Structure 1
Amino acid sequence: MIPRHRTNDVIYFDPADTEFPIGLNPIEKTDPRRHHLVVLNTVSALRGLWSDVWGLGRMQYILVNTLSSLMYYEHATLLGVNRMLSDKPFRKKVLARVKDPILLSFWSLEFERYDSRLKAEAVAPIQNKVGQFATTRMTRNILGQAHNAVDFRSVMDRGEVFIANLSKGAMGEDNSRLIGSFLVAQFQLAALSRADIGEGERRPFYLYIDEFQNFTNVASLSSILSEARKYRLALMLAHQYTAQLGEDLRSAVFGNVGTLLCLRVGFEDARLLAEQLDPLAPHSLTELDPHRAWVRRLSGGTMLEPTFAELSGPATPRQGRGVTVLQESRRKFATPRETVERNIATWLAH
């Protein structure tokens, strides 16, 4: 499906390609003025993934201080989180580079005085969660690389093609959600960074997220939907049925999206969606033929009445181009596994 003239514009991100991992570092060192944005986006992504333990103790508070401190350290990655919490010599090296007095006081006046009970409540859950992806070679070799292989701002500004294969079958559900959440956060940060150029200079970029509920939470999705439009980031969010979303996430979607496209659905979904597609009745959505849909659009700030649409069927893929595209993407963005693992081992030893 990739035209020949676009071969060099494709980034194919496939975590299951374990021999040639592409680096993704959510906390790569950046301008100190952007530290808070990077940390908040990373924490927001993790909140959705760790919802089962998020409310325990002072977990978020400790994690924010840990990530904020690591942002000052050269070549820091998420693998440094557990080292900050348990490796005193490493923590001392990191804090020697930290310039923020509030962060320094947290470690010297608070963290060092935590008793065993508090550490068990707030620190242990962080260590357990980080340890899960740190001990998995696939995710460790992606998130343990010090530099992002992909410049997401450049992808948006140049209109490049970024494709992420996050198959649960190849990666596992937790790993798929983890990497996908960080990718969405990277695009959100890239969009926000466009504040440094005029609105007319912001090239439109279209981000398609299939099964989006796996890679976002209510807070992050509401933020990106409300802010992304002015930075010319358009989101296409796809999912199969409304029960996947949960009431809060569903409200965030219906309250923020402009265009709603609905193909044939079951009765329960039709009942909910018909409320958004007034004056349609639920049976109008349950009786649709394949490749037919009802579409509600937002135009000039006004919500238009739904219209009927006939969609094209799946396109026929071009044969023989896939291998060339994948090889070129791997050559430009991936690093051989042996090199990555050697670099991680060296970093962990110092």
Structure 2
Amino acid sequence: MGKTSTADQMVQSMIDDWLADPNNAPGFTYFDPARETAAIILSRLLKAEAEGKRVPWEKVHYFYLGATEYPIGLNLLHKDGRPLDVIAKEAAGLIRFAYSAQAPKMERILENALLTLLEDNRPHTLLGVVPLLMDESFQRRIVPRVSDPIIQEFWALWEEEKNKVSSLDSLLNRLSPLRTNPTMRRMFGQSRWSLDIRKYMDAGHIVLFDLLNVAPDDIKLTVGHIINQYHVNAKRRSTGAKLHVMFVDEAHLVQIPVMSKIIAEDRKFGLSLGLITQYLGQFDQWLVDSITENMGTIISCAQGEQSAPRVEKMTNGAFSREMLQGLPERVAAVYTATKIDGRSTAVTCLAESDPPVIYLPDGKPADHTNQFQMQRALNVALAKGNELQKRDGTPAAVVDREIAAYLKPKTVLQEAKERETAGNPNEFWVRQ
């Protein structure tokens, strides 16, 4: 309860400021593997609305990254203005990160396939990689449009090489979850990118990502991709842009390298990263080092025997390991490195958090010992979340038809027509 209640308390102060002045207050993004905090935030916004406060719901977003009837589009091959080779390398790196793919030959094949799809003026997705490598008719739809001589060379040798390359089997295995899992297929198989991240940051939106029951590897790919895009968009903002805080709960599940860049570089562009975990030992050393060297605020609830010395070191001895191990429930030790009169100094305090509260439809707090009340309050909050997801997502049936149209084999006449024209950018996709 200590970690959850402390996180809720931090978020509540931002919600209070946001409700008081939603046009100027900073927004935040929250990745929640347990759903609890996301539901509490929605519940508190509903309570505020019931009390007569204006809640601009157009600036609130809820995205469930598990099975849903309204999936969002997370196209890894979304062209965001960066060089195509950068997008391809980043996509390949995310697949390697999520699925532990560490084979150089496999990565070479994947990067060439991704670059081939990106070179086409029509939108493509990761679902195009396997047919591109295995289906000659699909290749004929794409490869002739490639202008890069290095990629052309790859395809000139591919027919002879593919039967000799065991790495192809490894690649097919790595991509299998994206093809066989309907939830992942619907997100990464959409041609669209659904998240207007720059707007979320600039206009002060509240963005909630619910990760309950999402598999660890899928969390790595989805959240890793989204965090990368927050970094890309932050770097395009001006120095001193409006603050946007990105909270990543259970952050040890998605220790993606770009986090060190966000911590070190993105604060001046208004993006602040808040990493939340049960105990510090769950973080890799490179991330601990990045936090120690660059983060200004460290908040610690009670730590175990192994993690307490690490927090003691991170706070330059401001908190002893004995004190950290003895912290009461819902009491946090707060360490902030700051400057006073131009001199670096550290400010420390102890803060006690209220228990996390979720509200019933009548505005009364649900009794946390009453399972019926808690479930009722949760259902009300999630009903609002589902309403927001329906607004921002795309019906699953529509997505399924689009994917089927994208992967459907073309007739000889259709292929001939494609070769005769420059290609309609949307001819692969059927919108309904």
Secondary structure in 2 matching 1:228:
helix
The answer for unaligned runs of 5 or more in structure 2 is 1-43, 50-54, 362-379, 410-432
1:242 aligns with 2:304: no
The answer on whether the counterparts of 1:278 and 1:306 sit within 8 Å (CA) in structure 2 is: no
Cα displacement (A) at 1:17: 4.2
The answer for unaligned runs of 5 or more in structure 1 is none
Cα displacement (A) at 1:327: 4.4
Alignment TM-score, normalising by the size of structure 1: 0.87
Alignment TM-score, normalising by the size of structure 2: 0.71
Check 1:58–1:319 CA distance in 2 against 1; reply closer, same or farther (3 A cut).
Answer: same
Q: Give matches, 1:208-247, under 5 Å.
A: 208-217=247-256, 219-247=257-285
1:41 aligns with 2:100: no
2:226 corresponds to: 183
Q: Distance in 2 between matches of 1:282 and 1:306?
A: 18
Amino acid in the other structure paired with 2:143? L
Secondary structure in 2 matching 1:267:
coil
Cα displacement (A) at 1:210: 0.7
Identity %: 26
Amino acid in the other structure paired with 2:96? R
Check 1:88–1:193 CA distance in 2 against 1; reply closer, same or farther (3 A cut).
Answer: farther
Amino acid in the other structure paired with 1:225? I
Which of structure 1's runs of 4+ aligned residues deviate more than 6 A? Answer: none
1:50 corresponds to: 99
CA deviation map 1:50-86 (0-9, x unaligned): 32x31x2423333222222222332311111222222
Secondary structure in 1 matching 2:61:
strand
Amino acid in the other structure paired with 1:312? S
Amino acid in the other structure paired with 2:298? L
1:335 aligns with 2:394: yes
Check 1:317–1:6 CA distance in 2 against 1; reply closer, same or farther (3 A cut).
Answer: farther
Task: Tell me which of 173, 177, 186 is aligned to 1:141.
Answer: 186
Check 1:23–1:86 CA distance in 2 against 1; reply closer, same or farther (3 A cut).
Answer: same
CA deviation map 1:197-216 (0-9, x unaligned): x324x221110001112123
1:305 aligns with 2:343: no
Secondary structure in 1 matching 2:65:
coil
Cα displacement (A) at 1:41: 3.1
Q: Distance in 2 between matches of 1:18 and 1:234?
A: 29
1:282 corresponds to: 321
Amino acid in the other structure paired with 2:95? L
The answer on whether the counterparts of 1:262 and 1:295 sit within 8 Å (CA) in structure 2 is: yes
Q: Give matches, 1:1-350, under 5 Å.
A: 1-2=44-45, 3-4=48-49, 5-31=55-81, 33-51=82-100, 53-54=101-102, 56-73=103-120, 74-109=122-157, 111-114=158-161, 116-117=163-164, 119-120=165-166, 122-167=167-212, 170-194=213-237, 198-200=238-240, 202-217=241-256, 219-279=257-317, 280-300=319-339, 304-305=345-346, 307-320=348-361, 322=381, 325-350=384-409
Cα displacement (A) at 1:297: 1.9
Q: Distance in 1 between matches of 2:89 and 2:235?
A: 13
Q: Distance in 2 between matches of 1:44 and 1:57?
A: 11
Amino acid in the other structure paired with 2:239? E
Structure having the higher Rg: 2
The answer on whether the counterparts of 1:207 and 1:234 sit within 8 Å (CA) in structure 2 is: yes
2:28 corresponds to: none
Q: Distance in 1 between matches of 2:405 and 2:296?
A: 49
The answer on whether the counterparts of 1:45 and 1:182 sit within 8 Å (CA) in structure 2 is: yes
Check 1:302–1:331 CA distance in 2 against 1; reply closer, same or farther (3 A cut).
Answer: farther
RMSD over aligned Cα atoms: 2.4
Q: Distance in 2 between matches of 1:290 and 1:180?
A: 30
Check 1:258–1:92 CA distance in 2 against 1; reply closer, same or farther (3 A cut).
Answer: farther
The answer on whether the counterparts of 1:184 and 1:215 sit within 8 Å (CA) in structure 2 is: no
Cα displacement (A) at 1:323: 5.2
Check 1:205–1:258 CA distance in 2 against 1; reply closer, same or farther (3 A cut).
Answer: same
Instruction: Tell me the number of residue pairs that the alignment of Structure 1 and Structure 2 aligns.
Output: 337
Cα displacement (A) at 1:142: 1.3
Q: Distance in 2 between matches of 1:328 and 1:288?
A: 40
Check 1:266–1:227 CA distance in 2 against 1; reply closer, same or farther (3 A cut).
Answer: same
Point out which structure has higher relative CO (alpha carbons under 8 A, 6+ apart): 2
